[in-house]
Amino acid sequence: MSFFESLGKLDRRWVFLTIALAVIVPLLLQFRPPTTPTPIVKNIFDRVEALPENSRILVSADYGPSTIPENQPMLEAVCRHALHLGHRLYLISLWAPGPPMLESMVTNVINRDFPDVEYGVDYVNFGYKAGNQGVINGAYTDFQDQFPVDARGSEVSTIPMMSEIARLEDFHLLVAIGSGFPGVKEWIQFGGDRARIPVAGGVTAVEAPLLYPYYPNQLLGLMGGLQGAAEYEAALVEKYPRYEVSSTQAMQRMGPQTVAHLVIIFFVIIGNLSYFMGRRAERARLG
């Protein structure tokens, strides 16, 4: 039996063990591959940078627990960046599981890095609103009528930072982080296009190709999967090194993902070589 034929008969448990090590070892070593922001991600970062202080940013977290590893770093990096520059955040979710994602961001970003920001003045959380794209249509017409109270039950009229918000077009930027329907596409079609405000998106890796056609005319930028989140973090850390510890979770997760993908590619190549070498050896034996 040739070398490649013997590899083809390798006990699959060795393959599983190798994949496990490819994930565990980079995690233990805190391996972070070099990350350079691509233009489609850097455009979001640059737009947040270019906004004047006290700009109004609407952030929608439209995803659930299953996509936290990809979506949550996007949400936290963008919110951390916006608060650092003195912008105001208006937080909502069109998904029922979305409010815990927002609360997690508040804990990890606002409470940790910006303890001096004031609720109702620097940020407000409206939580979950049922209705899918109907919510976006309602917000376009009358935002305060669509969101009469915040997640704490306070009337919108008592929230200082809502005095300048009447319709969706009163926001300077819309950031939609999602993993399905309703999500980024709906915010583009029913929000950004109608209100004529720039839309930035963040989605899972499998959904990103469906949104590329909207870039750059209807979508100013897109964070696609863990790589997109890592690119935004890289841009943030490069400009503001103080976040080297608190805003690198996506970059750290890219280490195990990169190594695991390389190992999988290696096994795919070996498997194909084993198959074709075995076929050739069998034809040679048959004469």
pLDDT tens figures, 105-139: 999 999 999 999 999 999 999 999 999 999 999 99
pLDDT of amino acid 244: 87
- What is the CATH architecture assignment of 39-247? 3-Layer(aba) Sandwich (3.40)
Q: pTM for this one? A: 0.86
pLDDT of amino acid 42: 96
Long-range contacts of 237-242 (CB under 8 A, 24+ apart): 239/45, 239/49, 240/84
Q: Domain boundaries in the chain?
A: 3-30+255-286, 39-247
**Whole-angstrom distance, CA of residue 5 vs CA of residue 276:** 9
**Whole-angstrom distance, CA of residue 74 vs CA of residue 279:** 47
Taking a C-beta distance cutoff of 8 angstroms, is the pair 191, 174 a contact?
Answer: yes
Taking a C-beta distance cutoff of 8 angstroms, is the pair 278, 7 a contact?
Answer: no
> Nearest Cα to 74, choosing from 49, 54, 101, 97?
101
Q: Which parts of the chain have pLDDT scores under 70?
A: 1-5, 8, 287
